Structures are given as structure tokens and as C-alpha cells.
Amino acid sequence: MATTTSSLLRLNSPMPRPSLYNSQGRVFLQNRSKFRAQPRTKPICASSLKTESGVQKEDIVIVGAGIAGLATAVSLKRLGIESLVLEQAESLRTTGTSLTLFKNGWRVLDAIGVAESLRTQFLEIQGMVVKSEDGRELHSFTFKDEDQTQEVRAVERKILLDTLANQLPSEAVQFSSKLANIESRDNGENLLELTNGTRLLAKIVIGCDGIGSPIAKWMGFSEPNYSGHCAYRGLGFYPNGQPFAQRVNYIYGRGLRAGYVPVSHTKVYWFICYNSPSAGPKITDPSLLKKQAKELVSNWPAELLELIDISPDETISRTTLVDRWLWPGVTPQASRGKVVLVGDAWHPMTPNLGQGACCALEDAITLTRKLADSLKSGTPSIEDALTAYGEERWPRVFPLTIRANLVGSLLQWDNPLVCSARNNVVIPKLVRLGPMLEHTNFECEPLKA
């Protein structure tokens, strides 16, 4: 175990010993099974990176360079542990426009040292206002009135991903690397086969491969369930400055709701969520998506319709909302041997609480701490550390997944009497924001090597 431990830790000494250099002057670790001589922005084909049997050996492989994968890689790096991230796409994902991060997400971004640069780019949202479809204000809330420590900002996904990736050496993320198959060996190592033919033998595999995760399938997880709702999304662009106050605007109709929130001084994120018995065919044509979105809310406040109109085509998308409930005793555990799931790959949840990415960030830092303890001391074993991660995170993510689903069902009601009671009694008189945001409490200390 001691050998494994030392081989997994990146040495943080500012002046590495000469024996740690290879002939090209690049650092490699004693006891490491390989050294990295090439930037990993392209599929690896250089034979120098392969062992005699043609299998590339790695210590920790993270599959998926989304929020979960990159946050995990950055967290590990903060503790001096290097990893290789495999991403199927040719570059970081640019779609998905924006997502709202609550204080739990910011606590993690603080802990891994990237929050400040993001704060300078995205507006802090002060509160929220709820309206009916005719534009009548039903209730408004100020976040800090409810909780002084609350922090809410909508961030552009691409900038979040870029910021995380910039914390890593360029060779740490290997693009065009789609996992096709995974297989555990008797010695506990895992063979990963990519669609480009590359084969990797990894001691630890962290599956951050999102809702369609092939690793989750291999571990016995079922497909995520369709919630009965879909969402159009976009990012309105105002080159001369957007006109909105720094608050989230929600509009609740019958079986239909919309929201919009300023992201920055020029960009405003919007969504429209609607009921649909089936997911329907995949549509990517932005003008058709805009047309469909506008038809749904044709009589709603004009600012929403304008936002749709001024959204650049590349920001428009339609998504089916899915989740997976992690039933105890029925659903597999978060880890199997030395393979573990993080983020949507493990617990896809509907976006009704704005917690999917926040929880992926929480997962990343929790897993990193458990793994680092195991790697540094040898106790507990890696398998036990991964099990402990799953046990710590399950009571957090399982109820949140259910709650997000139920909130979505309540907000998507289409019965006119129920909607009238919701808009005239429940929202104006009964709803309190504080208890509704208690799930955003999550503390974590900065990661230090």
C-alpha cells in the first residue's frame, strides 16, 4: 500500500530531485507506471505512452470533463494528487448556457480556489420575484433577509468549465476520448477501452460521465427516469447592457412556468418548463426551438418573449428533465471496487432546486478528501474510502433528488383550481424562502496539500 500511495501522489517539492527528470527534462515520479511527455488535447497514439502490451497505465482516471470531472481533478490537484481526465468531446462543452449556483456551490468553489475569479464575472442575485402569467407580482423575497450567508449567482457553464480546466496542466484533460467499455481485473485494476482503440489500465476510475453514464450502466444502475417535463433554455444578449434588476424572475402558469435571471451586465438566462407525456424527437434547429418556446408563452410578459428573440442561436436548447432515485437496498452503491460515480452519473436530478451542479461540486470535494486520506495513510483502503464517500453523500443527494422532483410536479400542476390556490394563497401567504433554501447549507474547509 505504501508503494501505491507514493506512486499516486504528485510531489509538491519546488525543486524535484534530479532522479525525477526524464531525458527530456520532464518530471516523472519514481514508482509511476508512466510519464506524460505529450499534451493530451488529442487522442494518444504515441507508443511511448503505452506499455509493452499496448495498454496505457494510469493511476486515477476521471471519465468526463463536465463540472463533476473537472472539479474532482482540480480538488485532487490541490491535494497534490494527479489524475487524467478523459472527455469524449473535442473540447469543453459549450452548450447548456447557464446554471444558478447557490451558496453550497460557492463554498466548494472557494475551497478549491476558483470562486473569486468567477465572482468578478457574474452578478450576485439579491432575491426573487414570483409572478402569474399575466405579469401580476405574487410575492418577492430577498435572499439575505432569509440568510445572510446565502450567495446566488447564475454562471455561464462554459466559463465555469474553462475556469476549472485552467487550473489543470493541459495534458491532464484528454479530449476525443470516449469510453466504450470498462472491465475490472482480478487485481482490482480497471481496463478502460476507448472508441478510438486506446486501452488504459487504471487503478482508480472516477465516473463523471453525466446522465447517460456508461460507467453507471456497467455498475448496474438503471437509466434515468423521464420526469414528464421538458425545458427550453437560452441566454439573451444585450450588447448595450441588460435592463433587469439582480433577481430571479419566476412566472407560474398552468402546467407551464418560466424564469429568467441576469447572469452578467449583458446576458440574461431564461428557461421555459412545460409538461409533455414523452420526451419527443430531438430538435436542434434554433429557429424552430425559439418558435416553439414563444408559442408556449405567447401571452406572457413581453420581456420574456423579447429575451427569446435576442438569444443567439447557439445558446438555445431543449432538454428533457430526468432523474434517478437511489433507493436503499435496490439501487447499486456509488462505488464498485475502485470505480466510483460523481455528479449526474450517480444522481441525476431535475433542476427544480438548482442543485445538480452544486451537488456535483459537493461530491467532488467530499470524494477528494476521502481518497486523499486513504492514499496518504493507506488507511482506510481505497475501496473503503470510496464506500465511505457514497455513505456520506447518499443521505444528502437521495432526499434532494426526490424533493426536486416533487417541487417540479407541484410547480407544473395544470389543474385550474389548484393553480389558482397556488397563485392566490400558497405563494403570497404561506411560502417562506428560508426553509426552502436550507438544503443549500454545506460547509467545507479550503483544500490544502
Ligand X SMILES: Cc1cc2nc3c(=O)[nH]c(=O)nc-3n(C[C@H](O)[C@H](O)[C@H](O)COP(=O)(O)OP(=O)(O)OC[C@H]3O[C@@H](n4cnc5c(N)ncnc54)[C@H](O)[C@@H]3O)c2cc1C
Neighbours of 156 (CB within 10 A): 22
How far is the first Cα of the chain from the last one, in angstroms, to the nearest whole number? 20
Please tell me whether residue 84 binds ligand X under the rule CB under 6 A.
no
Please tell me whether residue 68 binds ligand X under the rule CB under 6 A.
yes
Question: Rounded CA gap, 186 and 189, in Å?
Answer: 7
Question: Rounded CA gap, 380 and 335, in Å?
Answer: 15
Please tell me whether residue 214 binds ligand X under the rule CB under 6 A.
yes
Question: Rounded CA gap, 115 and 105, in Å?
Answer: 9
Please tell me whether residue 333 binds ligand X under the rule CB under 6 A.
no
The smaller minimum CB distance to ligand X, of residues 29 and 221, is found at: 221
Which one of 20, 89, 159, 433 is in contact with ligand X (CB under 6 A)?
A: 89
Place of cell 519514481: 30
Residues 6+ apart with CB under 8 A from 58: 33, 34, 84, 200, 201, 202, 203
Task: Enumerate residues 354-383 that contact ligand X by CB under 6 A.
Answer: 354-358, 360
The smaller minimum CB distance to ligand X, of residues 66 and 236, is found at: 66
* Closest to 306 (Cα-Cα) out of 355, 268, 345: 268
Please tell me whether residue 210 binds ligand X under the rule CB under 6 A.
yes
Q: Choose the stretch contacting ligand X; rule: CB under 6 A; options: 25-33, 65-73, 138-146, 239-247.
A: 65-73
Task: Please tell me the count of residues contacting ligand X according to CB under 6 A.
Answer: 34
Q: Choose the stretch contacting ligand X; rule: CB under 6 A; options: 122-130, 207-215, 240-248, 328-336.
A: 207-215
Q: How far is CA 381 from its chain centroid?
A: 27
Please tell me whether residue 75 binds ligand X under the rule CB under 6 A.
no
Question: Rounded CA gap, 341 and 333, in Å?
Answer: 9
- Name beta bridge partners: 130: 139, 250
Which one of 88, 190, 264, 412 is in contact with ligand X (CB under 6 A)?
A: 88
The smaller minimum CB distance to ligand X, of residues 134 and 162, is found at: 162
Which one of 44, 60, 79, 86 is in contact with ligand X (CB under 6 A)?
A: 86
CB 215 within 8 A of CB 339: yes
Task: Enumerate residues 226-255 that contact ligand X by CB under 6 A.
Answer: 231, 233
DSSP 446: P
Burial class (CB in 10 A: 0-12, 13-18, 19+), 55: middle
The smaller minimum CB distance to ligand X, of residues 9 and 357, is found at: 357
Q: Choose the stretch contacting ligand X; rule: CB under 6 A; options: 3-11, 17-25, 324-332, 342-350.
A: 342-350
Site for ligand X, rule CB under 6 A: 63-69, 86-89, 93, 99-101, 178-179, 208-210, 214, 231, 233, 319, 343-345, 351, 354-358, 360
